[in-house]
């Protein structure tokens, strides 16, 4: 190969590696690790408590981001910090791949609140996806536990959970808006 080709190829390859990092994922290892999660998040990723999030069909990038945030302490939650502290990067990627592959679930939500929430939901879909299925760093909201969704929206509003995009959005939402949106998305 000529020196010129080398010269061109190296930057092109490094761009490829930068945009699509080679993450090797081991689904069966993820499934085994998940044994320590299902007591709270449910055997099929549908949680046993409406305060605890479903993980089934959640976006893999988002799941990995959150596990890293609990591990580093940028997202505060005593239960999850204890769980995440011992996870390696491989564990995190394997768990994310496992849970994203489980079939989506619906949690249901109060029907009257949900129909009011539907009318306000359009402003959320640009980031969270046309069907609220999520996209990469933007989490799936469809079918998530309404109590959990509401708690997170309040967390962004109070600043106990930090994210610039979400903190800007919730600044304009009332408590009633948040209840209605949580019921709507939970019922999808």
Binding site for ligand HEC (CB under 6 A): 36-37, 39-41, 52-53, 55, 63, 65-67, 77, 79-80, 83, 95, 123-124, 126-128, 137-139, 141, 144, 149, 151-153, 163, 165-166, 169, 181
- The Cβ of residue 131 has, within 10 Å, a number of other Cβ atoms equal to 12
Q: How far is the CB of 44 from ligand HEC (least distance, A)?
A: 14
Q: How far is the CB of 20 from ligand HEC (least distance, A)?
A: 20
Give the residue with the Cβ less far from ligand HEC, 19 or 185: 185
Residue 136 zone, left/alpha/beta (φ > 0; ψ -120 to 50; rest): left
Give the residue with the Cβ less far from ligand HEC, 12 or 122: 122
Distance CA 139, CA 163 (A): 13
Distance CA 4, CA 61 (A): 37
Give the residue with the Cβ less far from ligand HEC, 26 or 52: 52
Residue 83 CB-density burial (10 A; 0-12 exposed, 13-18 middle, 19+ buried): middle
Give the residue with the Cβ less far from ligand HEC, 10 or 125: 125
């Amino acid at each position: 190969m000529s020196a010129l080709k080398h010269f061109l190829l190296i930057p092109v390859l490094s761009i490829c590696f930068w945009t699509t990092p080679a993450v090797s994922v081991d689904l069966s290892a993820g499934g085994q690790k998940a044994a320590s999660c299902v007591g709270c998040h449910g055997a099929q990723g549908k949680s046993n408590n409406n305060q605890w999030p479903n993980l089934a069909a959640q976006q893999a990038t988002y799941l990995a981001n959150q596990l890293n945030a609990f591990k580093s302490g940028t997202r505060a939650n005593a239960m999850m910090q204890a769980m995440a502290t011992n996870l390696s990067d491989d564990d995190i990627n394997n768990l994310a791949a496992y849970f994203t592959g489980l079939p989506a679930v619906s949690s249901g939500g109060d029907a009257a609140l949900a129909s009011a929430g539907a009318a306000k939901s359009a402003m959320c879909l640009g980031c969270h996806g046309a069907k609220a299925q999520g996209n990469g760093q933007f989490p799936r909201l469809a079918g998530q536990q309404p109590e959990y969704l509401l708690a997170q929206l309040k967390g962004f509003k109070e600043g106990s959970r930090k994210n610039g995009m979400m903190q800007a959005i919730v600044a304009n939402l009332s408590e009633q808006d948040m209840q209605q949106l949580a019921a709507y998305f939970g019922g999808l």
